[in-house]
Structures are given as C-alpha cells and as structure tokens.
Structure 1
Amino acid sequence: MTMQQEIYLSTSKKQELTDITDKVNSIIKKSKIKDGICNVFAAHATAAIIINENYDPNICLDLLDALNKLIPSGIWRHDRVDGNADSHLKSAILGPGETIPVKDGELLLGQWQSVMMAELDGPRSNRKVIVTVIGDVK
C-alpha cells in the first residue's frame, strides 16, 4: 500500500530548522502502514530535509553556522540574478529528501534523531514537504 500527503510549513527566519517528526509520524499512523519506508521530500530548490539531533537546539545552530562558513553569501554567479546562490548550494549539499524505515507504524529513528526541514532562503510561507509512505498494512 502507498499513501502520500503534503505538509505545508511557514518559516520566520532567513535560515532555520523545523522539526517535522511528529507531523510525519501522524501521516504514517493515518496511513495504517505498519512496516515499510517513508520518504520525506522538500519540493523547493532552497530547502532541504535532514535527520539530526534536535534535543539540544545548539546542534541546529551549529549546523547552520557550519553551512554559512562553508558556503558564504554574496560571492556566487547566481547572486547577480536574485542574491540567493548560497541557499541553492546549501540545499544541494544537504539534499531534498530522506527515506526512513517504518516499524510498528512509526519512523524507525535513533534515540536522538529527528526529521527536520531546513529553511535556507526564508522567511517563506507554504513550504511544501511531500511525505510518501510505502509498506504493509497488518
């Protein structure tokens, strides 16, 4: 069985990480799929989906700081078009999606792992994340 649903998020900062683990697990429960896989996909060129720790908020800030040091703004050819080349590059490195195992109707994540959408060119309204759950209903 397959189920697909969209999550819409609004962001308030230029860069931020939003924990969407509970929203994704809610979609899995609604699907009634017990065992399988879940793909979470950001349908944008300047947003990404990551799995990382969210228990300590400093990890999220450290990740954004590291990205900003690796990929500074204002020095890329695309900046002449709309000034957000660094956002595109960061998104390409992080990637638009993650696929996570589903066990007993929930994401099979490690103790400290969360699924997060990385906003890299905000603030934005209506960021679309597509959640696809594939598996067996038992």
Structure 2
Amino acid sequence: MIKTLTIDTKKRDEMIDITTYVQDIINEEMKEGIVVVQSLHTTAGITVNENADPDVKTDFLRRLDEVYPWEHTLDLHGEGNTAAHLKTSTVGHSQTIIVTNGGLQLGTWQGIYLCEFDGPRSGRRVSIKTIEAE
C-alpha cells in the first residue's frame, strides 16, 4: 500500500523532518522490510541527515545555495527556479530505508527530511511505500 503525506511549506528553502510520520506508517503496517519515501515534485527532494542539531539544516541549505545560487532572472523555461531543480537532482527525490523489528534503521542522529527548494508551497506530496519482507 502507498500512503501520501501532504505538507505545506513556509519558506523558499527548508528541511522538514518527516521521520515520525514514516515511523507511524511502519507501526501500522509491518515489522520487517523496507520503506521507500519519495517526493512527487521536481523542486522538492528527500534526504536522510542529522536531526539533533538544527544548525546542520541551516548549513546544508546555505551550502546548496552557494553551489546553486538563487537568481532572480527568468530561466529559459520561464519559471526562474532552475536552482531548485538542480538542488532536488543533487539531493535526490527518494530514500529507501530498512525496517527491522518494526523500526526504521536510522543512526542515532538521523532523520528523514522533505527538502523544499522552491517554496513556500501548499500541498507538497510525499509517497511512502512499505515493502514487507517475506
């Protein structure tokens, strides 16, 4: 089964921790297997990163801005958000996480994040697919 998480973002660039939501789905559906978490957007990605120190998110987004600066000129495709597309391609649109004994196999400081690169937006969708081990 595929579940969909819908999120309204508040900033142009932000990282929203969705770990608890994904774990809640695991709690309902399985003990062993994998879960795939996928953004349904070309300007919002999914990553696994540190969830203990909020400065990590700030540094992460700042460094991406250094590599892909937001330019206030129109791109050839007319939307002015090429930097957001590049950031999403760099971060990736999905993550696959192992589930063991009903828990996400994440390190002590790891969390799953929706990375917004072209916000604020309403109705960002993340698909979550559980695949139970046989």
TM-score tier by shorter-chain length is over 0.9
Letter in 1 for 2:60: L
Other-structure match for 2:19: 21
Q: Distance in 1 between matches of 2:42 and 2:49?
A: 20
CA-CA distance at 1:133 after TM superposition: 0.5
CA RMSD of aligned residues (A): 1.6
Give, as a single letter, the amino acid of the residue that structure 2 aligns with 1:122.
G
The counterpart of 1:68, out of the listed 32, 43, 65, is: 65
Aligned-partner Cα distance in 2 for 1:75–1:126: 24
Contact 2:34–2:98 under 8 Å retained in 1: yes
TM-score by length of 1: 0.92
Counterpart CA distance in 2 for 1:129 and 1:106 is: 20
Any unmatched runs of 5+ in structure 1?
Answer: none
How far residue 77 of structure 1 moved from its aligned partner, in angstroms, is: 7.4
Q: What do residues 29-60 of structure 1 show as CA deviations (whole Å, max 9, x unaligned)? A: 111x1110000000000000000002100000
- 2:3 is matched with 5
Q: Using the TM superposition, name which of 123-132 and 76-85 deviates more.
A: 76-85
| 1:134 corresponds to | 131
TM-score (norm 2): 0.94
For the Cα contact (< 8 Å) 2:74–2:80, is it kept in 1? no
Q: Distance in 1 between matches of 2:6 and 2:127?
A: 9
